[in-house]
Amino acid sequence: MSGLFPSIAVRESGYLAVDDLHELYWETCGNPNGTPVVFLHGGPGAGAAPDHRRFFDPADYRIVVFDQRGAGRSRPQGELRNNSTQHLIADLEALRTELGIERWVVFGGSWGSTLALAYAQAHPLAVRGLILRGIFLGRRSEIEWFLNGMRMIFPEEWARFSNFLPAEERGDLLANYHRRLIDPDPAVHLPAARVWSTFEGCCSTLLPNPGKQTPFGEDAMALNLARIEAHYFVNSIFLPKDALLDNLDRIRTIPAVIVQGRYDVVCPIVTAYELHQAWPEADYIVVPDAGHSAMEPGIRKALIAATERFKTLT
């Protein structure tokens, strides 16, 4: 993990009850008087990890990391009730208020970029800046690419993903995976979750990286990621068609950086390009030798450069 800031201990942590069902795990570290920044993990459902604190200089940032509904350490895990983009936007506002933060930098990659854009468009006055990576706008074409298009680059991995289902069910991968993933029987949902999650992990780096892929096959992460992703996909990310592009005028003046791997297969570069064409005010950085993962060396370098630049935003 060269290029990241050193590992840092949590300063404070807790659970925030956002309704009668969900409690969000949150933590802060770094300088309690520094520039506030919130890290939005991917998925939806992937959860946050200790290395996510390391994109930010702890001497200058008050770093907020949390797990979204149903993900990571939030409770209950894998829960789909009361779990939508609108709920997650409201959760961010509730957490900001709970922590006494007036305005913060919002940092998100993959699904985190989707949520960052949706949140900023809903609450632009709460956002100092946006750092976005591996852009996903939640459009039907992007979901279809994930389900079927990635076979053009990763045919072996896609074959394992598709062939998990009986032949008669492969015409609608999403519906038939979703049906298994929401089944209450672990004998039904866990095998499907492992295959879905491992498929995504295998396609996330430019070069094979077994260490990066291993967590995707672990039961808790696999179930949360696969179940919540399928839930959001079948509901079109709970956003109107093209909503994030149509509402860019709400955030056009917010300082923003878009970081995109040229060979990102999970979230292909065409989406980031289209976002930048519609939003030329945002800086656009293409990493020529990177795939999807935030931990790709070139992506790490570009993200650190962005956080270094944004730590003095007022």
Contact assessment for residue 259 and residue 306, using Cβ atoms and an 8 Å cutoff: yes
**Boundaries of every domain in the chain:** 12-139+240-310, 141-237
For residue 211, what pLDDT is reported?
Answer: 65
**Which run of H or E residues covers position 187?**
helix 186-202
Q: Which residues contact 171 (CB under 8 A, 6 or more apart)?
A: none
Report the predicted TM-score, pTM, of the whole model to 2 decimal places.
Answer: 0.97
For residue 114, what pLDDT is reported?
Answer: 98
Contact assessment for residue 42 and residue 109, using Cβ atoms and an 8 Å cutoff: yes
Which portions of the chain are predicted below pLDDT 70? 1, 211-214
- Catalytic residue flag (residue 264): yes
Among 52, 84, 292, 293, which one carries the catalytic annotation?
A: 292
Mind spelling out the 3-state secondary structure of 288-306? CCCCCCCCCHHHHHHHHHH
For residue 101, what pLDDT is reported?
Answer: 98
CATH fold of 12-139+240-310, please? Rossmann fold (3.40.50)
For residue 49, what pLDDT is reported?
Answer: 95
- Catalytic residue flag (residue 292): yes
For residue 213, what pLDDT is reported?
Answer: 58
For residue 215, what pLDDT is reported?
Answer: 73
Among 110, 113, 162, 197, which one carries the catalytic annotation?
A: 110
CB count in 10 Å sphere of residue 311: 18
For residue 214, what pLDDT is reported?
Answer: 63
Among 74, 264, 276, 293, which one carries the catalytic annotation?
A: 264
For residue 137, what pLDDT is reported?
Answer: 98
Q: Give per-residue pLDDT as tens, 244-298.
A: 999 999 999 999 999 999 999 999 999 999 999 999 999 999 999 999 999 999 9
Q: Give per-residue pLDDT as tens, 298-307.
A: 999 999 999 9
For residue 208, what pLDDT is reported?
Answer: 83
Contact assessment for residue 256 and residue 106, using Cβ atoms and an 8 Å cutoff: no
